[in-house]
Every structure is written in structure tokens, then in C-alpha cells.
Amino acid sequence: MDDDVKEVLAALRREAFFWRAKQATKDQLLRPLEDATSGTEREAVERAFAASGFRDKVKAFAFLRLRSMRPGTQDSPSVDWARRQWSELLLQRLQKLSQEQRQPFLRRRPKPLTSEDNPGKPREEEVSTRHIVDLNSLYNLITRDLRTRLARDSSNRPGAMPALGSEMSGIHLRSLEELRLRYGELAPGYGHLGVWRPSNSWAEVPELPEARDARAEAAKLEMKRRRLGQKLLVNAYPAELQILARFGVSPSLRREVWGACLGAKHGAALQEAARGICEWEWLTDDVLRLDVAEHCANDVSYFPFDELVEALVLALSRDPQVSKLCESGSPQIPIVVGEAVAQRGPALSEAVVKDTAGEGEQFLPPSGVVPFKGFSNYACPFAFLSDRLETAYPLFRGFYCRHLSRLHSISGQAETLVTLCGLFEQLTAQAAPRAVQHLLALDTSPLRYAFHWIVTGFVGCLPAEQILHLWDRVLGFDSVELVPVLAAAVFALRARLVLAARRQEEVQLLFADVSCVKAIPLLQAFLFGSDLGVDPWDLFREVNGQIPDGRSTVLKEHHVGSVGFWSRSFSASDVVAMRRTPTRRVIDSRQPPEELLSPKSTMEVLTPKATLDPANRRSRLHYTCRIEDGFSPTNFLPSVTTPGTKSRALDDWRVGEGSRIMNYLQPKKYRPMSLYGEAFQGKWNTDWHDVSHISALRQKYPWARESIELKALPHPEGPNAQEIRRNRNFGPSHGADKCVRGMIRCGSLCMIP
Amino acid sequence: MSDQLRKHVGSQRDHPPWKDIKFRCAFHNTIYDVLKSRGFRETENEMDFDLFWCDKEWIHEVFDHIHLQAHQRVNHFRNHYELTRKDLLVKNIRRAQRQALKDGQLEEAQGFAACSPTTFVLPLEYSMFVEEFKKQQANGAIWIMKPVGKSQGRGIFLFDKLSQVSSWRQDPKWMRIQKEGEKPKLRNGDEEEEEKKEAEPYVVQRYLSDPLLIGGKKFDLRLYVLVTSYSPLTVYLYRSGFARFSHARFSMDTADLSDAMIHLTNVAVQKHNDHYDEKRGGKWDLHSLKMHLMMTEDPKKVHQLFEDMQNVILFSLLSVQKVMIQDKHCFELYGYDIMISKDFKPWLIEVNASPSLSANTVTDYEMKFALLDDVLTVLDFEKYLQGTEDQIGGFDVLYRNGVRVGPPATAAYRSRLGCCNNREEQLRRLAQHLAGEERNRTPPPPSAVPGRRRR
């Protein structure tokens, strides 16, 4: 802690305003005061410091500085491997693109763009380019390749696929309970902007009185929040403003509040980037332009801002500070172009994946982040914050570096892509286990549909207003965890429909359009619905303004009541499981009971091994399975045979009951014989005598075989009296030559088994 | 979305009322879909209809010669051109303004004056225009010429020198070719004679050289207004609407004056742009616009702007109220074109009596479908409503029985325009309310008595 303080102090000393603040404090102290007598010297200094007017600034600076000094975690080797893999893939694709386009990574613009260069008209020349990489390959890398690798590395659990996140980097994923605590302020008891739409504030329309009250309340709340926000902005202290943002920011204050929270300053970087754009041309520029044209310019709510968004994205890609500023480290291992390229920009396309750039070397592109398809989505909502590039860019850069970069960075840090995906998987498995299993049986997974929600932070999937509300909370809670939580909530919202889907395409269709989702109410319903002891989705409907008729009064008490009023009953997954099936099966739970899993099952332990029955008098259950150990339909890895592992009933519980091969239930055709068994009692002839001469005879005279076979099947001792009676009409004497369905044919006899 | 009304109110009635409603429709676009989806019956009969969604020609040619029954409705007023023709609108507004001044109602006069920029009707007021032009020339004012009878941006041009206009005026041959090449559709018997005497009527307006730009582009707004009667004046304003964007970045360079892509936002013009994208159609939801303005500008100013827009609509309708021939069979759905200048003042550009009802995108279709559905709900063929509702679907009452209907004085929001369109929820609530009223008023019909259910 002391080290932190020292470091913050050292950073403060480098700032000019610190010395000015010191000077001002000194001046204050020297000024004669009326009540100079009261208090100690330290208090006097404190008072003077407060009066100097610099306190808020110093406080804000220290807060931001402390924030940036959070300790990181160590990467695990397999995540490191994926990180490098990703960068190498990018480099490879870039080189290919460069060859196709006949364009070097960096070149001087043949004709520098000037500001007079027909600003009104759209660009004339048609540039044809393509995306470097799309989200699909990122998805494959994260799920398939990384998992395979991980499974190969750690051979302790050969049967199951490793879960994303926790097992990889050792980072603890929050469970639903912990999320509830962490995001307690999201609970419906608090006043939230973005829950009631404030546009319906006054209404003479005949409507239910409670709805009218709530509406009027929402308008009042909005006013109250705006006033509060304005008060807080006077001496902007980021910590306070972040708490404000947890409950939603009034739209007119959003720009200032975000700016203060992010500590965004107008920098010279933008100027430099603008100059760079006019003179130099990176290979990625056209790719970014294409991306903007495809995503921003095609979106119903963002298309007027395509030029602004283009400028934002290009400026970000030119900003050399981005990779340093990103809080979870650079989103990828940057690609460094050699000195020669940076100097002259020749037709060389030499580059290496390297972590640091040396003297005269540069990242490609300077920000170190190679854009994937859909990258420009990040910039779109910022067009709603400001029309001007100068004000929008610091916000964009700040927000990108703090939060958005985490959404696509592969690293072992907390709250990066891998852990976010892991969190999503864990939450969906907890909240909608049956739907997850159903998808697995369809050979897909929930993450496949939610992946682009997570990576783009829902931009392009939700309307702009909802995104801003969501990002308010992301900023306020200082965590992007809410993005996968919302994704899981959307999945859970549609879980019932998922269960009805029969093909992958149908599932795809289900999740293709989620634009009707209201982000904050859904989050509340997901996180706190079960805490209220009501059906979470009823709550969601209620919050959305659709009041179920009979229950509205009951709900209202919960709704406006204080936090302490709630009674804890069941978790979300409990509610779901209880509703779907009357009796809860083991297979419905997130984690099957320990004793049903190999290799150390209780059953094994309880089974007497050797000592109790030295003469082997009692037959013991043997669960030798006939299929190779470690086999499971989801596991395509070469199996690692470990002696002593036996597959158990619930080893493959993830796959779902339907697709499990029930090898543990199927009896064997052969049995160990014991003298105390039925053979001892002389049931079968062959138990007593050597009958090999009889079989030799049968071999010799095949015509005699029929009756023997008849006798032998299905019971060697021949049909018993009941069977004979049952089958009396089906003997060959009645002409029953054909085998009727449902019967067994034994030689010339048709039998009802 | 009359389903809610049907479910709640209609279930108490014996016979579904919508099955008896017959319509004719001259168009085969969204309106036809809406009429069909409500369950109305289409009829081929010339005269036996409850609702005829006709084109303007029919009104001019047929309407005067027929007699309609009390229940029959037609979607145009007989002399709607008083409002929708640019020159007549200007004339009417100016007259109303004079009248208001004479009566000493200064505020009202200002309201009328604020409706549209300085405008002259050309062949008649040429000398007045020249005087004004010379006065303004020092400011570098730019003027815009619009032909009176044409739509979709045809024949519009910008100029900043008088010579550009005078040459146009003294070239009758060019004029004639132009005139014969595309005959103006809107033409009455006596109007035609007038036109023969005059040169082709044009309106010249001070061009709005500093429009509000979003993302560097110019836009105008299309709002929908439903007038069900002119005396007493009853006006409904639709909450949604859209902003149409020009494709290119806006600039006031003189070299660009002839570039239609920059200055005209009509979809018909923008469609010819190479980069025109079919999918989004350059239309931006009014709600998005309001949200964006709220975030980037002072919210007070934005609220004031939307209130002003409402005023412009209302004053333009008030100015023609006296002139318009009231007919209880008629109603009209207007498409208002409004532009916003940099100082957050709305300017009325034009009023369309038959706004385009064909949609070019899915969202556009949904929006227009909802709009027309609400129009039919307001017209209330099924006799569900009581006539005192302040909001019906997406429509808010603006003016009823000669009284302006507005928010309470303490309300934070002065106008519902551009607010979130909560029409479905509102209709549901309205239906529940009406059903309750109906239940209270009348004893339950025999069919509702349990145990004796009648088919």
C-alpha cells in the first residue's frame, strides 16, 4: 500500500498542477484567518488545501492513477499460446492481403489528402479490399483450438472438455450469487434510468393508476438525477460519478460524466493522427473503411455518422499510445514492422510478431490492434455522445482502452475474452441447463450465438439507447462482466424456444434478432428475479410495462419496497429446474453428485474388495466396460488410458441423456460362473456332462439341427408351458410362415416373446 | 393494432363489427395491406363503401357530383390544395397573419410568421421579390425556386444572382417545352385557364443556408398529421416520423448550388445517387434524432424545438381552417416536411396531402403500417371509441373542438413528438379502459350470461 502511495506521489510531482496546488495551499496558509487558533497544524493545512480549490483535481488524479496500478495476473501457458497463435494468424492474413492488393504495409499517399479536397462529394475511387479476419476464426481459436490444447496439456481429466476461463488461467469466475452481491446496486428496488422510459411522463390517457404513478415517478427521477449529476460535475471526482453511472446517466449529461469518469483529456494524439492519415497510408486503412461502410453505414440508427465513425476508427488505429493504455495489456501481441519499412515505406512486407518495438520500428498498425470484421462497431455509439471528432475521440479512446479492448483481447488477465466466455458458459449452464444440453446435442453451443454479442459489446444487436444504458453500467461498475451476464440473460430469456428448436438453423434464427431486448430490466430480472421469489420473467414483463393482471399489486410492493424487504427463496437455476420438470433429476443439476462420477466413486469405495469373501463365494459386481476407457462422444482426442478409470453413469452428463451410450447398464453375454449359482443346481444339462460328442453329432447331421435350435432359443430348455399356450396358434401347423411384427422367429416357429 | 380493442371491447358485442365494413382502395401498397389485415371487405361497387382511400384526381373529378351517405368516409378534402400547394399555402398564411395583426393578437401573428421563411409567389409578386432580393444581396443570401405543382424535387433550383431568374422568366419557349413535357397532374377546370394566362407559377423562398447538420449532412423531417375535421378543427399528430438525409456532406459553396444530391433530401432524388443503399433508405427514426439531440445539445432547447414544430403544424392548419370546405365525409392524412435551422428553429417546407405510403425498407413498412392502422383506429369505423381520448395508438390529439390540447403546465416535456412510440401498450390500456366503461354502462348482453351461450 505504501508503495502505491509513493508511486502516486511521484506521478503527482510530475504534473504541473500539483506544484500550483502546493503554491495555492501555501498562500492560503499564510493568509491571516479569523479562527487560526483552532485545530492542529495538520488540520490547518488540510483546510487550506481544501480552500485552495485544487483538492478535487488532485483527488481525481490520484484516483485515476491508483486505478491504473491494479495488479495483473500471470498468463497461463495455453492462453499465451493462443495469444501468439492469434497474432501469427493475423500476420499471415495481412501478408496475404498485402500480396493480393499489391500494396505494402505502409506507403506514402500518392496525393496527400487536403482539407479542400472536395469535402462535399463522396470519395470517387472505388477501393476493393476485404476483411483481414472475421469473428469466426477468433471463435474457433478460443473454443476449439484452445480447448484442445488445454486438454492435451493437462491430462488429469481425460473424459471431459475443459471449461473456458477458470481452468485456464486460474481466475475465479463469479457465480450468480457473487454477481448478485457485486452488482447489488442494479437491484430493482433502486431507482434506475433506462427502466421506465421517461418519454411517457405526463399522460392524461386513461390507464391504470399504478402505471401512471410509476411514469410520473420516472420523470421525476430523471430530473432528480440530472440535478444530482450537475452538482457532482462541479468538482468532478470520478469515484462519485461512477457510482452515479451505476444507476444510469441522464442523456444530456452523459458526455461530461463519461469524460470525467474516464479522465479523458484532449490530447495532441488526435492532431498527429490526422496528419498521419493525410500523408501515410497503412494497409489496414482501407479495411477499416470497408468495415465502417458495412457496419456503421448500414445500421439504421448510426448511418448518419459514418464519416465521424470512420474518422474515430482511423484515428484510433493510428494512435501509438493505445497498446500502452489498454488496461488488460495490449489486446494482442503487436506486429512490428522493421525499420526499413517505417522509414521509407517500400514494397517490402516484412513483419514479425514481437512484444515491443525497438528504435525506429513501428507497430502495424501503430495502435497494435489489427482490426477484425466488426471492429468499427465499437465507435458507433460515441457518435451519439458528440458530433465532433475532437470531443468524441478522447471518450472513445478512453472507453476503448479501459473496457472495450477487453472484449477481444486474448490474455490471462481478469475480464478478458476467455474469462468472459467462460463466465457466459457458466451462467447459461446454471440458468438454463436443459437448453444448453439441448444445444450440445444439436452439436453447437450457446457461446456460438452469443460470441458476437460479447465481442462487439452488443453494438449492432441492440438499439443505441439500450447500448448506452448498458455501457453506463459498465462504466459505473468498472467491469465488462455485465456484457456476458446480459448475453446469458438473453439466452435464458429464449431458453424455452431453444428447447423447441430441432436444427442449428432454427437456433440461429432465434438469436438473429434481439433488438427488442431492454437491457437493464433484463439484467435485473436475470440477476434478481429469483431473489424476489417471483418468476423472473414475470418481473421482466412487469418492469417492461406489461403488467400481468392479477399479480400487479403483489409485485408492486416488492417493486418499490426497500432492499431489505426481499426474502430469499431459490436461485434462478432452481426456479428454472423446478418449473420445467416435476421431479428433478440428477442430470439437471449443474454439477452431478460426486459419487456418480468416476474414478473415485462412493460405490467403488463401498464395494468390498477382497477381504470379506476370501473364497469368492459371493459374486461381485464387475463394471468392466467393453468400450475403451475415456471414450465420450464429445471428446475426439486420442484417449489417454489410465488404469483404474471406469466410465460411470454421469460421466457424459453434459451431452444429455438421449445421446449417452448406456454401456454401464447393458448386461454382458458371459458371466462368471460360481458353484453357488444356478449352474450348481443343475439347471442346464451342459452343466453336468461333457456334451461335445453331441455337438459333433449335430454338426454331422444338419437336418437334426432344427429342433435343437428350436429348443435352444430363446431358452435352451425349450418353451415353458406358458409360452406353449401363448403360442399355440402360431405353430407351423397353422401356416404361420411369415414373421409377424413384434414376434421372434425361432426356426419355423413364430413366438411372442 | 386493433386486436386489443377487439379482444376487450369487441368481445362484449354480438357481432364482429369489422366484417360489415366495406372499403375501396386506389392504391396497392401499405394502406391496402392495413385495410385487409383489419378484416374489412373490399368492394368493387363504385358507391357502396364505408371508406374509400382514393387518389387526389378522384376527389377533383368525381367528388362534387356524388352524394355520400352519412357513414361514408373519403381520405381527402375537396380543396386540400389550399394547404398543399406551395403558393396557396403562402397566401393563406400571410392572410391569417394580417388578420391576426388586425385583431391585435400579436402572439398569434408571430406564430403565423414563424411558419415559413420569406416567400414570394413569382409571376405575381416579382417586383416585391426583386426589392427584397436587393436588400438581402449584401448578406449573400441564396434563394430557392420551386415549381408550384410538382413534387419529388422536380424543377427545383437554387440561385444567388438575379440574372439566373430573369433569364428564366423571359424565355417563354423553354418554359413551354418544360410545361408540355411534363403536365402537372393537379389541375382543375378553372385553374387551367389561370395557368394559361400566367407564366408557370413558381414559389421563391429564402434558402435556408444554415441548416442543422447531423454527421455533416443535411436532413429534413417528415411528420404525419391527421385532420378529421376542419370545423371544429380536430388535429392528431403522430409520434413517430423520420428524418431523411441527403447523401453528401453539406456545403454552401456556390459551385455546388446546382448539385441536387447535396441540397435536396427527397427520396426520389437521393435514389439516383450511386451510393444509395436500398436497405436503409437514408431514413432515420425521429426518436433517434431526438435522442441524439438530447445528448449533444441543451435539453431545454430540444424540448423547445419540438414544441415549436408542433406550433408550426398547428398554425399552418389554423391559417387554412376558414378557407377549407368542411365536409363530414372527409379526413386527411398530411405529410409535413419540416427543416431545422442551426438556431433550432423549425421551418415548414411543404405539406403533402398524399404522403408516400409505399415503403422501401422493413422498418419503414412497419412504421407506415402502424401509422395507417392507427389512422383507421382514430376514424373508428367499428364504433369503439368515445371521442374524448387524448392518445389513440401513436396519435396524440393536438387540437380538438377549437381548443388546443396540451400537456399540463408543469410537465417536463412539452411535446410528445419524437417520444418513444408506445402505441401497442397504449392501445391495450385504452381497450381495457373502454371495456370497463362499456361494462358499467350497459347490462351484460344475453350472450354473455353463462350457461346460455348463443352462437
Residue by residue, DSSP assigns B56-118 as HHHHHHTGGG----TT-EESS-TTTHHHHSHHHHHHHHHHHHHHHHHTT-HHHHHHHHTSS-S
Give the whole-angstrom CA distance, residue A692 versus residue A710. 19
pLDDT at A595: 47
Q: Do A308 and B215 touch (CB under 8 A)?
A: yes
* CB hemisphere CA count around A227 (13 angstroms): 5
Which tops the pLDDT comparison, B183 or A216?
A216
Closest Cα in chain B to A209: B429
What is the gyration radius of the CA atoms in chain B, in angstroms? Answer: 24
Contacts of B389 (CB under 8 A, 6+ apart): A205, A206, B397, B430
Q: Do A296 and A306 contact (CB within 8 A), yes or no?
A: yes
A532–B contact, CB cutoff 8 A: no
**B51-53 and B73-74: which strand pairing?**
parallel
pLDDT at B60: 86
Q: Do B422 and A200 touch (CB under 8 A)?
A: yes
A725: left (phi over 0), alpha (psi -120 to 50) or beta: alpha
Q: Do B215 and A307 touch (CB under 8 A)?
A: yes
H/E/C letters for each residue in A585-598? CHHHCCCCCHHHCC
Across A415-437, b (16+ Cβ under 10 Å) vs e yields bbbbbbbbbbbbbbbbbbbbbbb
Neighbours of B445 (CB within 10 A): 11
- Using 50, 70 and 90 to split pLDDT, how confident is the model at B372? very high
β-sheet bridge partners, residue B74: B52, B330
DSSP for residue B254: G
- Using 50, 70 and 90 to split pLDDT, how confident is the model at B331? very high
Identity of the residue in B250, B294, B425 whose CB atom sits nearest the CB atom of A252: B294
Distance between alpha carbon A474 and the CA centroid of its chain, in Å?
Answer: 15
Mind telling me how many Å the CA of B433 is from chain A's nearest CA? Answer: 6
Identity of the residue in A211, A304, A384 whose CB atom sits nearest the CB atom of B217: A304
pLDDT above 90 covers what percent of chain B? 11
Which of A178-192, A333-347, B174-188, B290-304 has the least mean pLDDT?
Answer: B174-188
Q: What are phi and psi of B333, to 5 degrees?
A: -105, 115
Closest CA to B87 of B354, B353, B350, B355: B350
Mind telling me how many Å the CA of A344 is from chain B's nearest CA? Answer: 35
The amino acid at A182: R
The torsion angle over the Cα atoms of residues A132, A136, A142 and A145, rounded to 10 degrees, is -90
Contacts of B247 in chain A (CB under 8 A): 122
Q: Do A543 and A522 contact (CB within 8 A), yes or no?
A: no
Identity of the residue in A208, A304, A464 whose CB atom sits nearest the CB atom of B214: A304
Mind telling me how many Å the CA of B5 is from chain A's nearest CA? Answer: 14
Best of B219, B296, B307 to disrupt the A interface (most A CBs within 10 Å) is B296
Give the whole-angstrom CA distance, residue A86 versus residue A145. 11
Contacts of A199 in chain B (CB under 8 A): 413, 416, 419-420, 422
pLDDT above 70 covers what percent of chain B? 78
Q: Do A303 and B420 touch (CB under 8 A)?
A: no
Q: Which residues of chain A have pLDDT under 70?
A: 1, 32-39, 70-75, 109-128, 153-171, 196-217, 266-269, 338-361, 530-689, 701-720, 727-753
Closest CA to B213 of B239, B255, B246, B241: B246
H/E/C letters for each residue in A231-284? HHHHCCCHHHHHHHHHCCCCHHHHHHHHHHHHCCCCCCHHHHHHHHHHHEEEHH
Largest CA distance in chain B: 86
A204–B contact, CB cutoff 8 A: yes
Give the whole-angstrom CA distance, residue A164 versus residue A142. 9
Contacts of B307 in chain A (CB under 8 A): none
Q: Do A223 and B412 touch (CB under 8 A)?
A: yes
Give the whole-angstrom CA distance, residue B235 versus residue B320. 13
pLDDT at A345: 46
Please report the DSSP string for A87-98 in residue order.
HHHHHHHHHHHH
Contacts of B219 in chain A (CB under 8 A): 304
Give the whole-angstrom CA distance, residue B213 versus residue B342. 8
Neighbours of B354 (CB within 10 A): 20
Contacts of B233 (CB under 8 A, 6+ apart): B227, B317, B318, B321, B399, B400, B402
Q: Alpha helix locations (H) across A31-172? A: 41-52, 55-68, 77-101, 135-140, 146-153, 166-169
Mind telling me how many Å the CA of B133 is from chain A's nearest CA? Answer: 27
The size of the A-B interface in CB pairs under 8 A is 116
Contacts of A200 in chain B (CB under 8 A): 419-420, 422
Best of B254, B301, B429, B432 to disrupt the A interface (most A CBs within 10 Å) is B429
User: Which cell numbers hold the place of A134?
Assistant: 472475421
Distance between alpha carbon B443 and the CA centroid of its chain, in Å?
Answer: 42
Highest mean pLDDT out of A78-92, A405-419, B219-233, B244-258: B219-233
Say yes or no to pLDDT of B237 above 90: yes
Q: Do B298 and A252 touch (CB under 8 A)?
A: yes
SS3 (DSSP) at A572: helix
User: Which cell numbers hold the place of A568?
Assistant: 430469499
Best of A207, A210, A249, A391 to disrupt the B interface (most B CBs within 10 Å) is A207
Give the whole-angstrom CA distance, residue B320 versus residue A26. 73
SS3 (DSSP) at B399: strand
pLDDT at B438: 79
User: Which cell numbers hold the place of A360?
Assistant: 525506429
Contacts of A122 in chain B (CB under 8 A): 247-248, 275
At B339, which helix (H) or strand (E)?
strand B332-340
Highest mean pLDDT out of A118-132, A334-348, B122-136, B294-308: B294-308
Across A380-403, b (16+ Cβ under 10 Å) vs e yields bbbbbbbbebebbbbbbbbbbbbb
Which of A175-184, B223-232, B247-256 has the least mean pLDDT?
Answer: B247-256
Give the whole-angstrom CA distance, residue B238 versus residue B391. 10
SS3 (DSSP) at A352: strand
Q: Do A384 and B291 contact (CB within 8 A), yes or no?
A: yes
Give the whole-angstrom CA distance, residue B269 versus residue B154. 9
Q: Do A254 and B249 touch (CB under 8 A)?
A: no
Best of A115, A127, A199 to disrupt the B interface (most B CBs within 10 Å) is A199
Identity of the residue in A120, A211, A386 whose CB atom sits nearest the CB atom of B249: A120
Q: Do A411 and A330 contact (CB within 8 A), yes or no?
A: no
Closest Cα in chain A to B283: A300
The amino acid at A459: V
Contacts of A301 in chain B (CB under 8 A): 284-285, 288
Which tops the pLDDT comparison, A192 or B337?
B337
A177–B contact, CB cutoff 8 A: no
What is the gyration radius of the CA atoms in chain A, in angstroms? Answer: 35
Asked, as a colleague might, if the bond just before A104 is cis with ω within 30 of 0, I would say no
Contacts of A387 in chain B (CB under 8 A): 214-215, 296
Say yes or no to pLDDT of B258 above 50: yes
* CB hemisphere CA count around B268 (13 angstroms): 10
Task: Output helix, strand, coil percentages for chain B, rounded to the nearest 5.
Answer: 40, 20, 40
Q: Do A386 and B296 touch (CB under 8 A)?
A: yes
Contacts of A222 in chain B (CB under 8 A): 412
User: Which cell numbers hold the place of A164?
Assistant: 473456458
Q: Do A199 and B219 touch (CB under 8 A)?
A: no
Q: What are phi and psi of A375, to 5 degrees?
A: -60, -35
Closest Cα in chain A to B279: A298
Chain B contacts in chain A segment 299-318 (CB below 8 A): 299-301, 303-308
Identity of the residue in A120, A208, A252 whose CB atom sits nearest the CB atom of B429: A208
Q: What are phi and psi of B145, to 5 degrees?
A: -105, 130
Q: Do B294 and A251 touch (CB under 8 A)?
A: yes
Mind telling me how many Å the CA of B270 is from chain A's nearest CA? Answer: 14
pLDDT at A8: 83
Identity of the residue in A122, A205, A385 whose CB atom sits nearest the CB atom of B295: A385
Closest Cα in chain B to A295: B280
A254–B contact, CB cutoff 8 A: yes
Best of A387, A388, A469, A518 to disrupt the B interface (most B CBs within 10 Å) is A387
CA-to-CA separations, A489 to A260, A478, A483, in angstroms, rounded: 30, 20, 10
Q: Is the dihedral of CA B55, B57, B60, B66 positive or negative?
A: negative
Closest Cα in chain B to A298: B280
Asked, as a colleague might, if the bond just before A592 is cis with ω within 30 of 0, I would say no
β-sheet bridge partners, residue A474: none
Distance between alpha carbon A528 and the CA centroid of its chain, in Å?
Answer: 19
Give the whole-angstrom CA distance, residue A153 versus residue A147. 10
pLDDT at A706: 53
Neighbours of A95 (CB within 10 A): 16
Q: How many helices (H) and strands (E) does chain A have?
A: 33, 7
β-sheet bridge partners, residue A178: none
Which tops the pLDDT comparison, A161 or B380?
B380
A285–B contact, CB cutoff 8 A: no
User: Which cell numbers hold the place of A689?
Assistant: 456332462
Q: Do B292 and A384 touch (CB under 8 A)?
A: yes
Cell 458371466 sits on residue: A671
User: Which cell numbers hold the place of A731?
Assistant: 405353430
Closest Cα in chain A to B386: A206
Cell 415548414 sits on residue: B348
pLDDT at A638: 43
Q: Do A464 and B275 touch (CB under 8 A)?
A: no
Contacts of B282 in chain A (CB under 8 A): 303
Please report the DSSP string for A389-412 in residue order.
HHHHHHHHHHHHHHTGGGGG--SS
Contacts of B94 (CB under 8 A, 6+ apart): B112
